Homo-oligomer: A and B are copies of this chain.
């Protein structure tokens, strides 16, 4: 294995991720990928075996590590608080996903790749669910458990977490609708607004609390 090889392999992975995220697996041809990566057509099969295995490797080598970075950001952001509370968890969660350690392009790719797997699971879904989502939800559950009402079972807690999660990923992947409905661009100010929205809604639902603090 050469140095030049690594470079080509990496370039293919990068371009494949961008194209798969933007257009989906079937709409992207191996020729598109290799042209974007400025290498020969046969390079995909040489380095990855075939197109499907390249797609899987995008998740293994790119998506999962990035998801772990987001998770780590969430963990640290929570640890930096003096006291953990429900609102701190919601805040850290929303910030990690909507702002967090990823660039805006990375974030968009990440949620597009994930959402495609959620709609129509392939082999990559096992990676996504088993290595990232399930452990992360488990961690969230353990963190939130002490603050939940006694009567709330594990299923109820999980559903609450999924409810928060639904907002977080929705505001990431459905930008087209959100922009169209609110009439706002996805700039830094709007992302702040969305974090605020998710936190507030997670705490009080439809407005009961009139933003007493802050």
Contact = CB atoms under 8 A, between A and B. Distances in A.
A159 B198 CA distance: 9
Contacts of A158: 181-182
Interface in A131-157: 133-134, 137, 144, 147-149, 151-152, 155-156
Interface extent on A, as a size class?
35 or more
Contacts of A160: 197, 201, 206-207
Given A115-B115, A176-B129, A210-B151, A166 B171 contact: yes
A152 B176 CA distance: 23
- Number of copies of chain A assembled together: 2
Given A166-B171, A167-B167, A118 B202 contact: no
B177 A129 contact: yes
B149 A181 contact: no
A interface: dominant SS: helix
A38 to B, nearest CB: 25
B176 A125 contact: yes
A173 interface: yes
Contact of A112 (B119, B170, B194, B197): B119
A163 B197 contact: yes
A70 interface: no
Contacts of A90: 206
Interface string A91-134: 00000000000000000000010011011110001000100011
A3 interface: no
A159 B166 CA distance: 14
A180 interface: yes
